[in-house]
Amino acid sequence: MDIFENIIDGGKCSKYKTNHFHMFVDDDVCIPDVQNMSDSAFGTLMHEYVHYVQHLTTLFGIRMCDMFHRMSIMYREYMSKEHIIHLPLHLWEKDEHLSQFLTHFKNVSGSKHCNFNIDAVDVNETNIDIARKNKTAVTIGCYDFENNRIYENGFDFGYVCVMESMAHEIQKTLVSDVFHPEVPYCTAELILKEYYPEILDDRKLIASICYCALHWDNPGVGFFDVVNLAKSNPSWNGIELYKHIAQNFAVSCNGKKMPRYRLILLFLDDFKKNLEQVIGTDLDYYKSVINNCIKETCGSTSKLLDVLYNVPSDDKKTLFSSLADFYGYPVIDAKNYTILPRNMVEAEGKPYLETAVLYWLGINIGKTFGIRW
């Protein structure tokens, strides 16, 4: 099972452990004085931080983290009853809801890498229709001009490509020389070169399109829906695009149709309750973080896009503090030190209880689930 597999960023080992608010930065960080960080280290930090935000604020991300919380609860209950436990456990196989989600997740995740050179891609509308119908990632054809090769089934454009393209595009607005493998990081760019080349230089809009697509239960297909909406409304920036989708795109859940933002609220509510159950205590720090996410959802706005568009990309301090003051941050394991959110007001700078518990869970739970961390 690779649902919660690490995302390895190129040659580096930076990664975000989605489900337990724990990220790794393979560089030295300086928080909160991020202005003292090198451009490259700051770009890496922001890349991982974007994953953290995307998992707290998009329909696909919230659902995925919530499923992990449900799984944690299920495993804990099982372990409290059994005397002998043989690891790893595969309890999700016995839960219909979880196994359905995991099958869906696997089908829409798409490719994480590819082993040939890609110079250009071919987007076939029929493949988009097939992916929509079958609830899978979208198969993309590839050309390797260098070696004179054509790959009809080059790679599958899905959740992984969309979320890594988003983080990559935002990183590129901060640091120009970021080199990542084409799949998954440059796939949005490769597709847009063919599908909507007019916006190829607009990294902020490309990142916004990916962000919007993460509100689809099949982000690979969602990406094309959002691009088509952007094509029909070329004057919109990412903020306008996002607002329109949150308010006017209906989504159905358990047979009920509702605007997308309402479903985010329902998901966030489940997320909060299950997270509390996982850590066995009321939330403190992340309660205010989730409340901020609820606030922005109600207004169909996004602090992330607001900062992306309105804070100069060389103002590291304002960029990071505007986001961290709103979304908080996870445990950050960097080369030089580990940072845990601390309660400066009521506990003399000691870490929040919930952060310490989540940190511990992040270390131990992977072994129990049988997940490759």
Q: Does 7 bind Zn ion (CB under 5 A)?
A: yes
User: Which stretch, 163-171, 220-228, 279-287, 347-355, contacts Zn ion (CB under 5 A)?
Assistant: 163-171
Supply the minimum distance, in Å, between the C-beta of residue 88 and Zn ion: 25
User: Which stretch, 142-150, 160-168, 302-310, 349-357, contacts Zn ion (CB under 5 A)?
Assistant: 160-168
Supply the minimum distance, in Å, between the C-beta of residue 7 and Zn ion: 5
User: Which stretch, 165-173, 191-199, 277-285, 342-350, contacts Zn ion (CB under 5 A)?
Assistant: 165-173
Supply the minimum distance, in Å, between the C-beta of residue 27 and Zn ion: 14
Q: Does 167 bind Zn ion (CB under 5 A)?
A: yes
User: Which stretch, 130-138, 166-174, 258-266, 337-345, contacts Zn ion (CB under 5 A)?
Assistant: 166-174
Supply the minimum distance, in Å, between the C-beta of residue 133 and Zn ion: 29
User: Which stretch, 66-74, 139-147, 158-166, 343-351, contacts Zn ion (CB under 5 A)?
Assistant: 158-166
167 vs 178 by CB, closer to Zn ion: 167
Give how many residues touch Zn ion by CB under 5 A.
4
Q: What are phi and psi of 258, to 5 degrees?
A: -155, 160
HEC string for the chain: CCCCCCCCCCCCCCEEEHHHCEEEECCCCCCCCHHHCCHHHHHHHHHHHHHHHHHHHCHHHHHHHHHHHHHHHHHHHHHHHCCCCCCCCCHHHHCHHHHHHHHHHHHHHCCCCCCCCCCEEECCHHHHHHHHHHCCCEEEEEEECCCCEEEEEEEEECHHHHHHHHHHHHHHHHCCCCCCCHHHHCHHHHHHHHHCHHHCCCHHHHHHHHHHHCCCCCHHHHHHHHHHHHHHCCCCCHHHHHHHHHHHCEEEECCEEEEHHHHHHHHHHHHHHHHHHHHCCCCCHHHHHHHHHHHHHHCCCCHHHHHHHHCCCCCHHHHHHHHHHHHCCCEEEECCCEECCEECCCCCCEECHHHHHHHHHHHHHHHHHCCCC
User: Which stretch, 167-175, 237-245, 353-361, 363-371, contacts Zn ion (CB under 5 A)?
Assistant: 167-175
25 vs 279 by CB, closer to Zn ion: 25
164 vs 296 by CB, closer to Zn ion: 164
14 vs 302 by CB, closer to Zn ion: 14
Q: Does 160 bind Zn ion (CB under 5 A)?
A: no
* Token pair 């490509």 in the structure block, residue: 161
Supply the minimum distance, in Å, between the C-beta of residue 15 and Zn ion: 7
Q: Does 332 bind Zn ion (CB under 5 A)?
A: no
Supply the minimum distance, in Å, between the C-beta of residue 286 and Zn ion: 22
Supply the minimum distance, in Å, between the C-beta of residue 163 and Zn ion: 7
249: left (phi > 0), else alpha (psi -120 to 50), else beta?
beta
6 vs 313 by CB, closer to Zn ion: 6
Q: Does 45 bind Zn ion (CB under 5 A)?
A: no
Which parts of this chain interact with Zn ion (CB under 5 A)?
A: 7, 9, 164, 167
